[in-house]
Amino acid sequence: MARVCAITMARNDDFFLKRWVRYYGSQLGRDNLFVYLDGKDQHVPTECEGANFFICDKLHGDRIRGDKLRISFLSRKAHELLDRYDYVIGTDADEFLIVDPLMGLTLPEYIASYGVRTTLSGLGVDVGQHLELEERFDSDRGFLEQRSYARLSTRYTKASIIAKKVRWGSGFHRVKGHNYRIGKGLYLFHMGYFDMERVQNRFSDRDHLSSGWTKHLQRRARTIYLVSSRKARVWDKWTGVARWIQTLFRPIYAINKPAMFEAVLIVRIPERFKNII
């Protein structure tokens, strides 16, 4: 069996960290999770026993500089882990790399069967709240029990899995100096803007506002409006279309990132994903 671990870095994000540890722990084992907390004022969340937590000095800077410092830090940690593991998964705490249940494989089984040479990506699925059909989030229930709509997004088709000591670009969006491959039946579910109430609360979060996140949060909230106003397409057909487009086309400014020409593809998430996260 392939040796696979997962890493992330977070600050003031207990809500997602608990769920990140729960999901990746179920796939990889909690002893193979490495979580770095940004700042000595942080604490290890409850319900995260068994994962490896490290409380670090705070990485200072605005959103852009902070992103660069964090990814440089995590790339170095991934290099160290690749001396012990075959593959390292790197994601933000609100991102969940999921194998389609139809594949019948766990995440490490899928990665091993794919034969990753340098990097592997899941197709980006940016989940939003349908304001007319879905209610406020109930924390006692799973994400996908309550959210059924998403935008297929190049922004979240990230170079999440690495097999070599390469350098991630900010936010895991690419691997510097290398192309990317999107695995069939592999998806990166982004849950950061799945609930309007949580997005609005983050607008007023002092830590984010002081780091220049306001415009970023407003831009990401657009996913909620898109899934609420656009017709949802059939998942199995349109995820295939999106994967094909993103594999063939690149933006002019970054040939190792996917492109989809600003196409807005809203899909309904199938029932088979409901109980995964």
Counting residues of the chain whose pLDDT is more than 90, the rounded percentage is 73
Provide the pLDDT for residue 254: 75
Q: Which residues of the chain have pLDDT under 70?
A: 61-63, 203-220
pLDDT at 256: 83
d(CA 192, CA 217): 10
pLDDT digits (tens, 9 = 90+) for 220-263: 688 999 999 999 999 999 999 999 999 998 887 778 889 888 88
How high is the pLDDT of residue 2?
A: 87
Q: Structural domains in the chain?
A: 4-273 (3.90.550)
First to last CA, the chain: 24
Q: How far apart are CA 8 and CA 12, in angstroms?
A: 13
Q: How many CB atoms lie within 10 A of CB 196?
A: 18
Distance (Å, whole) CA 31 – CA 51? 5
Note the pLDDT of residue 220: 65
- Our CA angle for 89, 95, 100, nearest 5°, is 80
- The set of residues, in sequence order, having a beta carbon less than 8 Å from that of 136 and lying 6+ positions away, is 195, 197
Task: Count CB-CB contacts under 10 A for residue 222.
Answer: 14
The DSSP secondary structure of 190-249, one letter per residue, reads E-TTS-HHHHHHHHT-HHHHTTT-HHHHHHHTHHHHHHHHSPPEEHHHHHHHHHHHHHH-
What is the per-residue pLDDT for 61?
64
